[in-house]
Amino acid sequence: MAYRNLEISNRGAVRTITVNRPDKLNALNRDTLNELSIAFTQAAQDDAVRTVVLTGAGEKAFVAGADIAEMNGYTPVQAQSFSRIGQQLMSAIERLGKPVIARIQGFALGGGMELAMACHLRVASEKAKFGQPEINLGLIPGFGGTQRLLRLAGRGAALELCLSGTPIGAQRAYELGIVTRVVAPEALDEAVNALADQLAAAAPLAAAGILDAVLLGGETSIDQGLEFETQAFALAFATQDMREGTTAFLEKRKAQFKGR
């Protein structure tokens, strides 16, 4: 489909989804959230796509937040709907079953930070800025920020960032576990592309199992998580990819995974 607020491109098995509202610092309005939901659904259903990269247009912002001009006129009922649309998108990204990398080159604030945290891996430029500044607007995060930040960085960091509304740099975000890698601005594309290519070449069914196990493990007891891991481990033995991977290892060659 033709998107108004997104650009979609493919490089081999890697799909890049770019939020393309640079004049608004890629702010998330309702239309953009809906388009992102469609784009990620298409990526999930396309077997040719093995890894997704999510980024924003321009150098200033990944996504600078939700569209405040649109939110300003919301009633409580409209705000509730907007929050649910955003949360559903973030959950869909988190549960995509394929690795999603956030390429963060500038501001990732409010809804932008929430969008980044829904991705499985986050690679940031040294110039990137992160924050949950909703309190400065008399609001709280509405797209899962209080919950994912709590799980990624712990209660203290979640409370500090959400209560103060003060942005932090990429290095501090890395120290808190919010960002997985920090690189020089000129090295960002190379780092993201190399990581995306590595993940796209991996066994897709095994990757899906790992994503499911880690996601479930963060929400349940250790015993339940371990049981899920055992079942997923056993299920992998029913796949052609497992036979290909182990045979390739024994034959000292590179495995060619088919997702079967």
Location of each CATH 1.10.12 domain in the chain? 203-250
Q: Tell me what percent of the residues of the chain surpass a pLDDT of 70.
A: 100
Location of each CATH 3.90.226.10 domain in the chain? 6-200
Average pLDDT over residues 245-251: 94
Report CA torsion sign: 23, 25, 30, 31: positive
As assigned by CATH, the class of the 203-250 domain is mainly alpha
Q: Please give the pLDDT value at position 2.
A: 87
Question: Residue 4 burial by CB count (10 A; 0-12/13-18/19+): exposed, middle or buried?
Answer: exposed
Question: Can you tell me the distance from the alpha carbon of 54 to that of 113, in angstroms, rounded to the nearest whole number?
Answer: 12
Question: Can you tell me the distance from the alpha carbon of 62 to that of 54, in angstroms, rounded to the nearest whole number?
Answer: 9
Q: Please give the pLDDT value at position 45.
A: 96
User: pTM for the complete prediction?
Assistant: 0.94
Question: Can you tell me the distance from the alpha carbon of 24 to that of 21, in angstroms, rounded to the nearest whole number?
Answer: 5
Q: Please give the pLDDT value at position 218.
A: 85
Confidence of residue 1 (pLDDT cuts 50, 70, 90): confident
The DSSP-derived string for the chain is ---SSEEEEEETTEEEEEE--GGGTT-B-HHHHHHHHHHHHHHHH-TT--EEEEEESSSSEEE--B-HHHHTT--HHHHHHHHHHHHHHHHHHHTSSS-EEEEE-SEEETHHHHHHHHSSEEEEETT-EEE-GGGGGT----SSHHHHHHHHH-HHHHHHHHHH---EEHHHHHHTTS-SEEE-GGGHHHHHHHHHHHHHHS-HHHHHHHHHHHHHHTTS-HHHHHHHHHHHHHHHTTSHHHHHHHHHHHTTS-------
Q: 6-200 architecture in CATH?
A: Alpha-Beta Complex (3.90)
Q: Which one-letter amino acid corresponds to residue 254? A: K
Tens digits of residue pLDDT in 93-139: 999 999 999 999 999 999 999 999 999 999 999 999 999 999 999 99
192: left (phi over 0), alpha (psi -120 to 50) or beta: alpha
Tens digits of residue pLDDT in 50-61: 999 999 999 999
Question: Can you tell me the distance from the alpha carbon of 228 to that of 259, in angstroms, rounded to the nearest whole number?
Answer: 21
Neighbours of 238 (CB within 10 A): 9
Question: Can you tell me the distance from the alpha carbon of 147 to that of 90, in angstroms, rounded to the nearest whole number?
Answer: 12
List active site positions: 114, 134
Among 1-5, 115-119, 146-150, 165-169, the least confident range: 1-5
Average pLDDT over residues 140-157: 96
Our CA angle for 11, 259, 256, nearest 5°, is 75
Separation in Å, CA 102 to CA 135, 153, 185, 225: 25, 17, 14, 26
User: Token digits for 143?
Assistant: 């797209």
